[in-house]
Structure 1
Amino acid sequence: MADLFASDTPPAPKGTAPRPLADQLRPQALSEVIGQEQVLGSEAPLGVMLGAGSLSSLIFWGPPGVGKTTIARLLADETDLHFVQISAIFTGVPDLKKVFEAARLRRQNGQGTLLFVDEIHRFNKAQQDSFLPHMEDGTILLVGATTENPSFELNAAVLSRAQVLVLERLSLADLERLTQRAEKQLARALPLDGPAREALLEMADGDGRALLNLIEQVAAWRVEGKLNTEALSKRLMKRAAKYDKGGEEHYNLISALHKSVRGSDPDAALYWMARMLTGGEDPRYLARRIIRMAVEDIGLADPQAQTVCLHAWETYERLGSPEGELALAQAVTYLALAPKSNAGYAAYKAAMQAARKSGSEPPPKHILNAPTKMMKEQGYGAGYAYDHDAEDAFSGQNYFPETMQRGSYYQPVERGFERELKKRLEYFARLRAQRS
């Protein structure tokens, strides 16, 4: 793709405020958009739709500053639709009614409307439902933009009538191309050496609009020669990483941490933990999730793993931040390198399934207590074999309901301490077979 923003816009008239660089470089055609090849390419969804002359309603899902608004505007130009932009933050039901009525009149006069709704996930269910009849009868072609997962935030009815397209954060190569376009527009190079230039791109964190704002600041400096990374860092604050403790990014990062531990990669696990902490995550939440990892993915392959995690949590509570996070980091490292087994987790789920299926089947009478005469007369406790009196302290009796086939839920792995538990399980299975 070419550049994210166009460069042939005429200068602002005298006496007006200077236009922001992002506005000066706004693309004039889809072919000038940087990145998003997975959406805009000739064989990609939008490329195919435009090639066929049939554009459907769309939902753009992606982080800020990747071109959602720009692409929507250019789609309207490509398809000769009237472009209307609203924000769900500032638009109420009366405003929507006016928008729909204007689109209806426009349609009667032979022109369609592309309605771009920014932050569409902020509309409630009733407001989202109000779009449906106008989408169905062709009054509007809806293009929504959201930074949140549409499957969580948008109504199923809206999603069924629109195609979700994922826009990705801009790569360093994309950002470099955008920087070159900005330098051409400014008619001068940025006063940065190579490492400082790369540091500037990293500060943008994949956000093209944020990068152009940073470039404007750097271009305004009066400096001799080129600044290095240290000088740049003193003059610019690093952009905070995108992280919403209650949103999609939160669940993405904890998933990445958990799967890195499960995959026995301590370096990746520590990285994702650090990402969450630098984003402002509560260390106590991490402590709880770390214990869950020990239970779910290590289990009895290393019974000490749970103890390590509990002690790490206790250490954090005693030390507080930031020293206490080190204990949590050590627990994560231990879990990543521990032998893995989900046999206990799988056994528990299998037992729960069997319990739901078997309903209210009573225990066999020989393992029921008989504290009263009547219960003894009913056979409670009759024939119970006290295991400590049996050979090898094992009677081999049946402990499942009498009408139920014996279950086999726990299947230990040949790793860690469960290797020993597997030997014990097989040993008791042989004895049970002999004494049945």
Structure 2
Amino acid sequence: MVYSKHITPRLRYIARFLSTEMSTTEWELTDAPDVFLQEQGAKINYTADTLDTPCLHIVPQALLSQTGIQPQSIAVASLNGLPVFFQTGGPLGFDLFAAAFYLLSRYEEYLPFEEDPHGRFPATASLAYKNGFLKIPLINHWMQLLKKQLTALFPDERFRQMVFRFIPTYDIDMAWSYKHKGFLRNAANLLKDAVRGQLPAASKRIKVLLGKERDPFDQFGWLNRLHEQYNLKPYYFFLVGAHTNRYDKNISPRNKAMKALITDHAIRYPVGLHPSWQSNRTFHVLKNEKETLAAITGTAINASRQHFLKLSFPETYHNLLKAGILFDFSMGYADANGFRASVASPFCWYDLQTETATDLLLFPFCFMEATSIFYKKETPDAGLTALQELYNEVKRVDGFFSMIWHNSSFTDEGVYKDWKKMYETFIKQRNSTPSL
């Protein structure tokens, strides 16, 4: 039971998240002191008052009793070996409820910030990056601390045993590098290669189109064998934009080979929508793409991940909910690997604009190979080290680990040289390494 003088939608939201992650039943909230005093089970006093009853006292900061969005005064310190903020005293030393809500709601992304060239909130603008905890699933560690404190006070209380989960995911921006693009598109690209003096590329394109070589982006059979060998259950996100442009370069969803590829994957794995760049600004484009993918798979499409990770609060999620999307996998950064919401657990989106806890379930990821390759300019060995470190961080808290890869990264050519080998090494080591 949690006692608070102000039971707000924000408090209900964070209490539900914590109870879902930590307990077998949902926590009860009360604003009646007599009810709280009579409760015999585990309980938390979330007021400024000290009560004469066994309970964990968390002194509240103002955030959960507020409405609207306004700058917050935040000073990050170290307590119990962990970064914390909203220090209010008490046994924990800080308002865990408010701090967790601030991070999960992505409160800082509603405040003014300098967008990156793609109109996104950059990792470098985040509280986590500026204070050195971007690579830590901080909320999961806070939950372990909270569980420890409650267990000390209420030794008979039974908490949920968390189980580590691993889901690899793939964005299929462009299924083939040369094949199935049509005569005009290939002719234009062939001419560009010739004008730029890129004769090896032009030669390879011709060989692939003549059937003398496999298309370098066609890594789907290899991935299927890898999944079967190591019993992996991945998620695939397909870009099915009706029109191509500078950022949407997918194969036409009307193409028979593209339809066959999507259908084959929908039989084997969960398939979601990779909403195009265009759809981020135009709802009817998003709606049409979802309907296109559903028509190809013959199943309802209820999951998505934004192309280029274009995520703007609250517009992107409003559109996804309006389109009937129930699960989104976009919660992560393009410019830095780590934990965007400082958590390694799925969580529902809280809409700060309407002060509503929504049913849109967010699955965070903490590593994307494109971040290592293009933003960090890392070698495959350095990328493997970064990936393993994040993986181990999540295992320590028995959390949810997800990562993003693209079929184009397994070509073993150019900037992608040895990244396919790196991926296979990680998968093999993951399956041979004992739990931490």
TM range (shorter): under 0.3
Q: Which has the higher contact order (CA 8 A, sep 6+)?
A: 2
Higher gyration radius (CA): 1
More strand by share: 2
- Scaled by the length of structure 1, what TM-score is found? 0.24
